[in-house]
Every structure is written in structure tokens, then in C-alpha cells.
């Protein structure tokens, strides 16, 4: 399993002063349209003076068009349109998850099933033209979206899969495996890239994020793999933001910053990588360079291994 650096898409600074250019544009992501061979770009514009900085952040389409409030956008292509999944956080209402459909310029609220804490960092994917979300990684939980009526401005979500994956927790009390990019249907498998959250000290400035790969074969197995790649140590936070296939190649977009976004000033960059997972998909196993971290298989008990985990979201207040 190989990751190859391609290019820096944009460089930016997170600043507490007046932002210029692409300053404070974090979590740049790309939705790929296979019909037009076109890319729609989204990003999150944060106010680093706001603590926490998520409260007043907005989503930008292209370079300048504000489409609404929200946090880290996850892109996907659905019903002929570039889309994103994003959440809004309110201290009084918790997380409110929505999708944005670019072609209609509309937001659609996502309503999780009773008893499921909304949380954030959902990973959208389209399977056979229907919309799903990986809601959590420990357990590995999948939600399926449905309209009550096509005229509605909301989607109901139902749990369609939940598999026991045992993972270690991070310094904030939640599991280390957390959402990252959208996922893709590749043959009979769902493949996506999340991020790990590891506290290497007692403060938030010690947090390190790194990508991991998950491969899900519905009702059969799910596996989490480490990337064999040395990311620059300068950037503690490497968040995977989007994952797409173009001309037979798989691409990963990342947002890389020196530390957590509440620290200013600091530098960051959005990067493009080539992803080669052929040995994982062909062999249904570890492959020559893919280190399996955690997983579940039908009929097997969950196995807890040395490193990484998922995220149980906090309950909304």
C-alpha cells in the first residue's frame, strides 16, 4: 500500500489578525465529477480569534463564495452534483449534520436514528446511487439516508451496519480512529481514509493526526490499515479531506498544519497525494506493504491491536 506525494495545492497561514488570500482557509477538499472531468473545491474559513474556532466558521465554495456555516466539509458526488457533508456546532444544541447540494444550492438536514449521538466527522459515500455515512469506527457503524418525500429539506438516517471493532482511546477519552475523507465504492468494497488522534503529551498542542485507510466489505469484513509513508514531522496535524478516482488513479487531498488550529500564528498547506491500494484490494489481506491495525470479520471476535482507534462522539448537551 503506497502513498506518493504529488503537489502542494495551496499554502496558507492561520492568523489571529485580518486574513489575506487563503489565510484561515483550512480543510480544503475536492469533489470530483467523473462526467465532466471537473473538480469543485470547498474549504472551511475559520475565525482563529473565536475560542473554540469552530463556532463562527463558514464553508467556502471555490475561492470566495460563502455557502453557509459549518465545519470540515467532506465532499462526494451524488445525483449529478458536487456535494459536501458538514456539521454545525452550537453550545446549546450540539452537532447538527447537513449535506449541501451544489447544483441546487440547498442544504439538507440529516436526522440520525433515535439513540444515536450525532457527533461529527461523518464519512459520506455513495453505493449503487444511494447515500450512506460511516458514523463511527468503534463500533464501525454505517447509516443509510432516505427521503420521506423528495420535496423535504431533510433526510432520515437508519443504521444498516454495526460491527464490533475494539480500539484504544486517545487523550480526550474518545477512540483514536476518527473520520477523514469521503469513501468510494470500488467493486464490492467501500474504501475510505480516516485520521488518527494521538495525544503525545497532556496538552492539545501535543496532538498528532495521521491518515489511515479503511476497507469495508459489507456484511463480510472491515479492516483498518496504516500508510507506509513518512509525513513531514513539522506538521503535527495531517487531516485527510477528500478521496477520489480520476483516470484510473486514486487521489488523496490533505490539510496539513503545524499544530491544532486554535494556535496562532502558524503555517499550513493543502496537498495532493497518489494512493496505490491494489495489493489490499486484490489480496483481501495485509498485502506487501499494508500493516493491518484493527478489523472485524463475520464470525470472528474483535481484536485489539497495538495502535489507533475510532471516535465515540460526545453527547449533545
Q: What is the DSSP string of 60-107?
A: EETTTEEEEE-SS-EEEEETTEEEEEEEEEETTTEEEEEEEETTTTEE
Cβ contact 176:150 at 8 Å: no
Would the pLDDT of 228 be above 90? no
Determine, yes or no, domain membership for 215: yes
Bridge partners, 98 (sequence order): 86, 109
For the chain, the C-alpha Rg in angstroms (whole number) is: 18
pLDDT score recorded for residue 314: 34
Determine, yes or no, domain membership for 303: no
Determine, yes or no, domain membership for 58: yes
- Report the pLDDT averaged over residues 211-228: 93
Most confidently modeled range among 93-102, 164-173, 291-300: 93-102
Would the pLDDT of 312 be above 60? no
pLDDT score recorded for residue 304: 38
Distance of alpha carbon 190 from alpha carbon 178, whole angstroms: 16
pLDDT score recorded for residue 150: 86
Determine, yes or no, domain membership for 268: yes
Determine, yes or no, domain membership for 305: no
How does pLDDT run across 108-151, given as a tens digit for each residue? 999 999 999 999 999 999 999 999 999 999 999 999 999 999 89
pLDDT-derived band at 292, boundaries 50, 70, 90: confident
Would the pLDDT of 153 be above 70? yes
pLDDT score recorded for residue 290: 62
Number of domains in the chain: 1
Phi/psi at 205 (nearest 5 deg)? -65, -15
The domain that contains 148 carries what CATH number?
Answer: 2.115.10
- Report the pLDDT averaged over residues 79-100: 95
How does pLDDT run across 22-57, given as a tens digit for each residue? 789 999 999 999 999 999 999 999 876 666 655 679
Residue 110, domain extent = 2-297
Phi/psi at 88 (nearest 5 deg)? -110, 140
pLDDT score recorded for residue 173: 84
Name the nearest CA neighbour of 84 among 38, 46, 22, 40: 40
Amino acid at each position: 500500500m503506497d502513498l506518493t506525494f504529488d503537489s502542494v495545492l495551496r499554502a496558507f497561514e492561520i492568523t489571529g489578525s485580518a486574513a489575506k488570500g487563503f489565510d484561515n482557509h483550512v480543510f480544503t477538499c475536492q469533489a470530483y465529477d467523473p462526467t465532466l472531468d471537473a473538480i469543485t473545491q470547498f474549504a472551511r474559513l475559520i475565525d482563529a480569534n473565536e475560542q473554540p474556532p469552530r463556532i463562527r466558521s463558514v464553508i467556502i465554495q471555490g475561492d470566495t463564495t460563502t455557502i453557509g456555516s459549518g465545519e470540515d466539509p467532506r465532499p462526494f458526488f451524488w445525483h449529478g452534483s458536487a456535494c459536501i457533508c458538514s456539521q454545525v456546532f452550537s453550545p446549546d444544541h450540539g452537532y447538527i449534520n447537513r449535506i449541501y447540494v451544489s447544483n441546487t444550492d440547498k442544504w439538507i438536514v440529516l436526522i440520525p436514528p433515535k439513540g444515536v449521538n450525532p457527533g461529527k466527522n461523518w464519512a459520506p459515500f455513495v453505493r449503487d446511487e444511494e447515500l450512506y455515512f460511516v458514523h463511527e469506527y468503534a463500533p464501525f457503524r454505517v447509516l443509510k439516508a432516505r427521503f420521506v418525500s423528495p420535496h423535504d429539506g431533510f433526510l432520515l438516517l437508519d443504521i444498516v451496519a454495526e460491527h464490533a471493532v475494539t480500539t484504544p482511546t486517545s487523550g480526550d477519552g474518545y477512540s483514536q480512529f476518527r473520520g477523514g475523507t469521503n469513501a468510494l465504492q470500488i467493486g464490492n468494497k467501500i474504501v475510505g481514509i480516516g485520521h488518527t488522534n494521538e495525544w503525545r503529551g497532556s496538552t492539545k498542542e501535543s496532538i498528532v493526526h495521521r491518515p489511515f485507510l479503511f476497507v469495508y466489505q459489507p456484511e463480510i469484513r472491515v479492516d483498518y490499515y496504516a500508510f507506509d509513508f513518512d509525513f513531514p514531522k513539522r506538521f503535527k496535524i495531517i487531516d485527510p479531506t477528500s478521496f477520489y478516482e480520476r483516470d484510473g488513479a486514486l487521489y488523496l487531498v490533505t490539510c496539513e498544519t503545524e499544530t491544532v488550529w486554535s494556535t496562532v500564528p502558524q503555517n499550513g498547506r493543502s496537498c495532493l497525494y497518489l494512493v496505490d491500494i491494489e495489493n489490499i484490494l486484490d489480496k483481501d489481506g495485509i498485502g506487501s506493504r499494508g500493516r493491518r491495525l484493527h478489523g472485524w470479520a463475520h464470525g470472528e471476535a474483535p481484536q485489539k491491536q497495538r495502535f489507533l482507534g475510532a471516535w465515540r462522539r460526545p453527547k449533545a448537551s
